[in-house]
């Protein structure tokens, strides 16, 4: 599902550098990403999603070389094929929770907002415990509720790849377990692979493999 080869990346102005000689994620595989704060976990997710572009190397997602696509093509690819739960949720305040969940359909001509998608959104929201809050805007939701909206938005398109950056970070322990169950259940149904950054070490046994990120720090 994901293959990364000889990847190097640095933010402009020097400082942090990331080097990933090889990383792969098989179809349907669930891998947790751990590592110290600032070691580049979010950066790698952003590179795989095509939000950032590598200096060198190659990133393939579902057989497409994302690192070789134009900016517009990468955006379309991401919206139609990847579900991304961002660390800061990245919800749009001027839209309701429901409209945020449907956002991928708004920006991706290849996706059709049909009755099945609407039903999926309602079912996901209910399973996440926000079914009665879909008309609210993000500013009227708690951090944990905003996070659930972000999770619903990532899952509603039934992507084959789910990238999750601390998707359960703002939730209480019971909700964490429930949301991870939901994430995995949805992933199984859609045959999706999951790459999830987490600082919750008690969640690690739920994953098939753990990628310790410290190894990718350039010079480390």
At its nearest, how many Å lie between ligand ATP and the CB of residue 42?
3
For residues 171 and 182, is the Cβ–Cβ distance under 8 A? no
Can you give the binding site for ligand ATP, defined by CB under 6 A? 11, 15-16, 35, 37-43
Closest approach of ligand ATP to the CB of residue 134, in Å: 29
The two structure tokens encoding residue 22: 């090889």
Question: Cβ of residue 19: shortest distance to ligand ATP, in angstroms?
Answer: 13
Instruction: Please give the full DSSP string across the chain, using - where no structure is assigned.
Output: -EEEEEEEEE-TTSS-EEEEEEEEE-TT-EEEEE--TTSSHHHHHHHHTTSS--SEEEEEETTEEGGGS-HHHHHHHHHHHEEEE-TT----TTS-HHHHHTHHHHH-TTS---HHHHHHHHHHHHHTT-GGGTTS-GGGS-HHHHHHHHHHHHHTT--SEEEEESTTTTS-HHHHHHHHHHHHHHHHHHT-EEEEE---GGGGGGSSEEEEGGGGBTT-
Cβ closest to ligand ATP, residue 11 vs residue 110: 11
Please identify, using beta-carbon distances, which residue of 43 and 108 lies nearer to ligand ATP.
43
**How would you list the strands of the sheet with 56-61, edge to edge?**
17-25, 2-10, 56-61, 64-65
Q: In whole angstroms, how close is the CB of 62 to ligand ATP at the nearest point? A: 23
Q: Least separation, in Å, of the C-beta of 127 and ligand ATP? A: 27
- The residue among 35 and 159 lying less far from ligand ATP, judged by its C-beta, is 35
User: Which CB, 146 or 198, lies closer to ligand ATP?
Assistant: 198
| Residue closer to ligand ATP, measured from CB, 15 or 63 | 15
Pick the closest to residue 97 from 140, 57, 61 (CA basis).
140
- Closest contact distance (angstroms) between CB of 197 and ligand ATP is 6
Looking at the Cβ atoms of 130 and 150, the one nearer to ligand ATP is 150
């Amino acid at each position: 599902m994901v293959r990364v080869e000889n990847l190097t990346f640095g933010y402009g102005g020097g400082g942090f550098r990331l080097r990933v000689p090889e990383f792969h994620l098989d179809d349907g595989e669930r891998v947790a990403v751990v590592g110290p704060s600032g070691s580049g976990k979010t950066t790698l997710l952003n590179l795989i999603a095509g939000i950032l572009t590598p200096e060198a190397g190659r990133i393939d997602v579902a057989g497409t070389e994302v690192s070789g696509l134009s900016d517009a093509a990468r955006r379309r690819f991401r919206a139609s094929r990847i579900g991304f739960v961002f660390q800061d949720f990245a919800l749009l305040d001027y839209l309701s929770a429901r409209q945020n969940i449907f956002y991928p359909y708004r920006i991706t001509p290849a996706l059709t907002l049909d009755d099945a998608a609407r039903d999926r959104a309602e079912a996901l929201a209910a399973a996440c415990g926000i079914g009665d809050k879909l008309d609210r805007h993000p500013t009227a939701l708690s951090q944990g509720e905003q996070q659930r909206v972000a999770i619903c938005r990532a899952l509603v398109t039934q992507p084959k790849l789910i990238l999750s950056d601390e998707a359960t970070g703002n939730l209480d322990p019971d909700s964490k377990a429930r949301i991870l169950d939901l994430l995995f259940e949805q992933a199984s149904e859609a045959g999706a692979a999951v790459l999830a950054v987490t600082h919750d070490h008690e969640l690690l046994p739920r994953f098939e493999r753990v990628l310790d990120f410290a190894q990718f720090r350039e010079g480390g």
